């Protein structure tokens, strides 16, 4: 039987030199959930990227429940659907696009709440679009490890400890943990930007943009 969550709770207690009688797993699990939530909002790394195919209904698509940021929206034929701000998307002065769904020059979308609104295409009949997005960090459980604990255990542990330092725990290491988290997150995000720009550190490819 796997014990990923329990093992993490034990690790945090060792850092704090506190026993389970002082801070049981239930309390430490709340710190872990807060760490997952906060890291989800600041990290943008390759392990967060997910691809989802969603049905289009009435020119709109509900976003995945675990989405943080959209990376790319594509039509099933491979054409890219370009992002516009809601003001631009709904501007009455915007030229009416042709109704032909194959003319990818006019395919566009905006985001309102948890919905993608589509324009410039004939979606009268049910169809699908492909979403590439950054997802929330999955919850660590006993049965399932998550990628941040597997690939980046240092930043995960330090963020949990930082959460613990906000929970009536007087530990002089708190500011140091926070400072190190900021450095690690910046390094991880910058490394991902290099990946996106070059494709590979050893074999760079031509940079490609989508508008």
Tell me the C-alpha distance between 78 and 129, whole Å.
Answer: 10
For residue 197, the cross-strand partners are none
Q: Where are the alpha helices (DSSP H) in the chain?
A: 4-16, 25-42, 86-89, 147-151, 153-165, 174-198
CB-based burial label for 157 (10 Å; 0-12, 13-18, 19+): buried
Judge if pTM exceeds 0.75.
yes
Model pLDDT for residues 49-77, shown as the tens digit of each residue:
999 998 888 889 999 999 999 999 998 77
Q: Could you tell me which residue, 164 or 96, shows the higher pLDDT? A: 164
Measured between alpha carbons, how far is 25 from 12 in angstroms, rounded to an integer? 10
Triad 108, 135, 163: Cα angle to 5°? 135
Domain ranges of the chain: 4-43+137-198, 48-134
Model confidence band, residue 113 (pLDDT cutoffs 50, 70, 90): very high
Residue 58 CA to residue 43 CA, distance in Å, equals 33
For residue range 120-173, what is the model confidence (pLDDT) as tens digits?
766 555 588 999 999 999 999 999 999 999 999 999 999 999 999 888 677 788
Sign of CA dihedral 68, 69, 72, 77: positive
């Amino acid at each position: 039987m796997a014990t990923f969550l329990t093992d993490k709770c034990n690790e945090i207690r060792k850092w704090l030199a506190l026993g389970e009688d002082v801070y049981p797993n239930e309390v430490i699990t709340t710190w872990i959930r807060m760490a997952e939530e906060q890291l989800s909002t600041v990290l943008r790394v390759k392990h967060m990227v997910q691809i989802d195919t969603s049905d289009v209904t009435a020119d709109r698509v509900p976003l995945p429940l675990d989405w943080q940021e959209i990376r790319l929206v594509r039509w099933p034929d491979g054409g890219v659907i370009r992002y516009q701000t809601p003001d631009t998307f709904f501007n009455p002065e915007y030229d009416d696009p042709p109704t032909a769904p194959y003319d990818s020059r006019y395919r566009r979308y905006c985001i309102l709440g948890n919905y993608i609104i589509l324009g410039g295409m004939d979606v009268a009949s049910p169809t699908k679009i492909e979403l590439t997005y950054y997802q929330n960090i999955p919850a660590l459980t006993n049965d399932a490890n998550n990628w941040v604990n597997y690939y980046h255990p240092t930043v995960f542990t330090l963020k949990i400890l930082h959460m613990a330092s906000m929970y009536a725990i007087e530990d002089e290491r708190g500011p140091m943990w926070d400072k190190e988290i900021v450095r690690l997150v910046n390094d991880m995000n910058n490394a991902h930007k290099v990946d996106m720009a070059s494709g590979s550190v050893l074999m760079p490819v031509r940079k490609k943009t989508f508008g």
